[in-house]
Amino acid sequence: MATTIDMPKLSDTMTVGTVASWLKNEGDSIESGDIIAEIETDKATMELEVFDEGVLLKQIVPAGGQVPVGSPIAAVGEAGETFDSSSLPAADAPAETEAAETEEATSEEAEAVEAEPTAEAPAEPKPQGDGPAIKASPLAKKLAAQKSIDLANVTGSGPNGRIVKKDVLAANPTSSKSTTVKKPAAPDSSAIVSAGIAEEKDLPVSQMRAVIAQRLLESKTTTPHFYLETEVDVAALLELRKQLNSELSELSPEQGGVKFSVNDFILKAATEALRRVPEMNRSWNETTIRQHSAVNISFGVAIDDGLLTPVIRDADAKGLKTIALEAKELIGKSRSKKLAPNEMSDSTFTVTNLGMFGVTGFYGIINTPNAGILSVGATVARPVVDANGEIAIGQIMRIGLSCDHRVVDGVVGAQFLQALKTIIENPALTLI
């Protein structure tokens, strides 16, 4: 007898899932442990393993379809058996199809709004002879008149062959009936129509983007943020990084080879600063404040459709090299959407870095329930006064700290930044 395979709950926050792709076709034999599909969750793309044996009778949800957790997505049974899915609720259409339909409708609505209002809509112009009426949007008619283009010679790409703006813009002006040579008129700036910088369309909101939007809105509206900032001179850190990489980056992993990024040093320095000011390593639990014993430090990784925050667990027990290697592995998994749920959960503090894009300073939104998020800007060379009172060139990095005022006060945030500044400006402390 046929059985259904339901959309699994692959993360704590997952409420719906999308079938990214099917790895088994209808009619294929499957065995327990086979991977039959890839499921896109709110955080990553996961493989769907089955524990039934038989034949894949029906792909109930097509590739790109989205259904709530617990809804059937496939049916498995015996060879020759049939499955009737007509009694099941229909799955959502693939996002690409919905976007295409929405784009066409939106395009027509936009053109109707752009057209100049008239007391009465003009009748559709008719070509000479007994041909059918020409269907064109108001804006298309206006542009055709301005460009002296005969709409009878324009092929429409809108619904039912209707001529829209882009058809007129693509038409050859020589298709005009008139051959009279006129004196060029002065340019009319109001008649200039932009070709656009990108195709105008409504993009479907992915499950990941929807969850990001929901969580950030909740954090910003329910968590009382306050902000602190400091500047650090990272000249010594950059020099130490250069020395280590010159010795270690060319070695194989078996020989102890590793290549450090600036962010590796920041993650280690932030961990050590939390060791010195453990009050920042807390979280809000409504009726209690949790003091975390270990530092589970997460960091932002940008991907095509959002941001993931993989977690380095027990970072306080790990050295700079271990943190660097683990961060590199987590970045690779993030960009291939292969992070497991436990690799993105239970963080106690977060670091986000936009310095590689030239951003000199910013404040991140707290990754709740963390008490704070560290925002790292670009390094800028500028004049500074050194310890001897002399003008010198410093390598200055601005670091912002967003704090949850329910958990910590300004003094705690300031003490944390003070400790962080000391460690970064004396980077040998990260090697202890």
Q: What is the pLDDT of residue 164?
A: 80
Alpha-carbon distances of 412 from 38, 211, 282, 361, 397, rounded to whole Å: 45, 31, 11, 21, 21
Q: Within the chain, which residue ranges are assigned CATH 3.30.559.10?
A: 207-431
What pLDDT sits at residue 177?
A: 45
Kindly report the CATH number that applies to the domain delimited by 3-92. 2.40.50.100
Specify the pTM.
0.64
Contact 341, 10 (CB under 8 A): yes
CATH class, range 207-431: alpha beta
For residue 390, pLDDT over 50 is answered with yes
Return all residues near 248 (Cβ < 8 A) that are at least 6 apart.
256, 257, 258, 259, 260
pLDDT of residue 17: 86
Ranges in the chain annotated CATH 2.40.50.100: 3-92
- DSSP bridge partners of 347: none
Strand, helix or coil at 331? helix
Tokens representing 312?
């380095």
The confidence score (pLDDT) of residue 387 equals 83
Instruction: Give the number of C-alpha atoms closer than 13 A to the C-alpha of residue 248, restricted to the C-beta side.
Output: 17
Is 296 or 388 the better-scoring residue by pLDDT?
296
Tokens of 45: 């793309």
| Candidates 405, 418, 422, 425; catalytic one | 405
- Give the Cα separation of 417 and 39 in Å (integer): 41
Task: Write out pLDDT tens, residues 80-98.
Answer: 888 877 767 554 444 444 4
Domain 96-181, CATH among 3.30.420.40, 3.40.1280.10, 4.10.320.10, 3.40.50.2030? 4.10.320.10
Task: Specify the DSSP element, H or E, that contains 5.
Answer: strand 3-6
Tell me the per-residue pLDDT of 318-334, one tens digit each, with 9 for 90 and over: 999 999 999 999 999 99
| Token pair 């291939």 in the structure block, residue | 336
Q: Are 291 and 278 in contact (CB under 8 A)?
A: yes
Say whether 405 is catalytic. Answer: yes
Helix, strand, or coil here: 73?
Answer: strand
Q: Where in the chain is the domain with CATH 4.10.320.10?
A: 96-181
Q: What burial class does residue 259 get, using C-beta atoms within 10 Å of its C-beta: 0-12 exposed, 13-18 middle, 19+ buried?
A: middle
